[in-house]
Amino acid sequence: MEDKKLTFIMYPWYAMGHLTSFLHLSNKLAHRGHKIFFVHPTKTLSKLEKFNLHPQLISFKSITVPHVEGLPLGAETTSDIPIFKQNLLWQALDLTKPKIESLIQELKPHYILYDFAYWVPSVARKYGVKSIHYCSITPSSVGYLMRGEQAIPEAEMMEPPPGFPVDSSIKLHKHEARLIAALHSMGKDSRSSGSGTVSFTQRLLLAFQDGDAIAFKTTREIEGPYCDFVENKFKKPVVLAGPILPEPIETSNNTEENWSKWLEKFQEKAVIFCAFGSECKLKKDQFQELVLGLELTGLPFSAALKPPFEAETIEEALPEGFKERTDGKGIFHSGWADQQLMLSHPSVGCFVTHCGGNSLSEAMINECQLVLVPNFGDQFINARLFGGDLKVGVEVERDEENGLFTREGVCKAIKMVMNDESEEGREIRMNRAKWREFLLSKGLEDSYIDAFVQKLQTLL
């Protein structure tokens, strides 16, 4: 039974973080001889190909993202559109249902793994195929945020749901609860498309409720109580794939080489690396507070950020005189940066992050200290999990009401994690080292992936 090789279709949501997350899992499965058909939007192939470590077992299947009225022409992923147009991309995803059905019919996989395409289980069942919701966010986020279809009042959202693990540090601030409430109803207005569409919350609830199992990229040691809470909530088996550590990627990119050369000028662990993922855009005043906070530390920094909302380029968004003052000490990059490469560089000592799941997993296996600046959705929960439960980073202080942070707050958090003097900083660095050692411990990842495959064999 255990030697049976499985065939999978992977159908992740059209966001780079989701696509790469599914591909990292595909690599681990292909390494054990299982066959993968990986469905992706056409133009993402060039970004994904280099992550495919088993081309003989992982076949890419490109899909044309259908055009929906209001969606910019040629838009394929969340990084091509503003966040308030995401519901149009969900509609486009839903229009691929016939294409996915014909792939299931043709390829006859044992399993299809999906996330936002909530209709996958009903299609798969027709052909006797099992479906697994492979969730790109953490069990703690799912447990805290998924509370049913009705809108939850802000004050209620600030507190964890009934039955949530008691020793959890996870709670939301007022401004975060307000954002979550707005996200809850997003996509409800279906007038823009001929077909009725489901809200974001309905979409996710259906995705969790309808599959044969729910899978997460985490370990019991880090999130055990939250996994039990989710299993109990959705009455579905929760299967853990373990930490799914990304494999080191060889690079021959000139930009990366230039960054490397620049970093080599500085002492070990002296540089701050700040990156907010491929989607996060700040308002101009917050962008300026962030970069002024980096300057205030007096340390060299490199930042991979998108231009803020009110600016076309990073250059025009920088505070007056900033470029001259930080010349040679600060470097900006507005394209796609190989974060893994940056975080593992010996000169990088601190990572200022938006708390996206993939960014945190990459950071946890490197030695840089963590400063947490969550911006949206599950990032708030991740910040409490890593800053509160695990105590491996420091969150930048914000105004409770409007969520704004200051340059002083940014500087203070960075100084705290990088400074040997403070007791809190010392405790955080000890915890960071302990969890890094655990995640890199010999055999940990293999034992999780083997157990994951075994569990899938028994579900067939």
Residues designated as active site? 18, 115
Give the whole-angstrom CA distance, residue 136 versus residue 79. Answer: 17
Instruction: For residue 304, give both structure tokens.
Output: 């991979």
Cα-only R_g, the chain? 22
* Contact by Cβ (8 Å): 166, 178: no
Instruction: For residue 86, give both structure tokens.
Output: 């995401």
Backbone angles phi, psi at 26, to 5 degrees: -55, -40
Sign of the Cα pseudo-torsion (24, 29, 35, 36, in order): negative
Q: Give the rounded distance of the alpha carbon of 91 from its chain centre.
A: 21
Give the whole-angstrom CA distance, residue 391 versus residue 388. Answer: 5
Give the whole-angstrom CA distance, residue 126 versus residue 459. Answer: 17
Q: Which of 424, 363, 364, 436 is nearest to 394 (CA)?
A: 424
Kindly report the length of the chain.
460
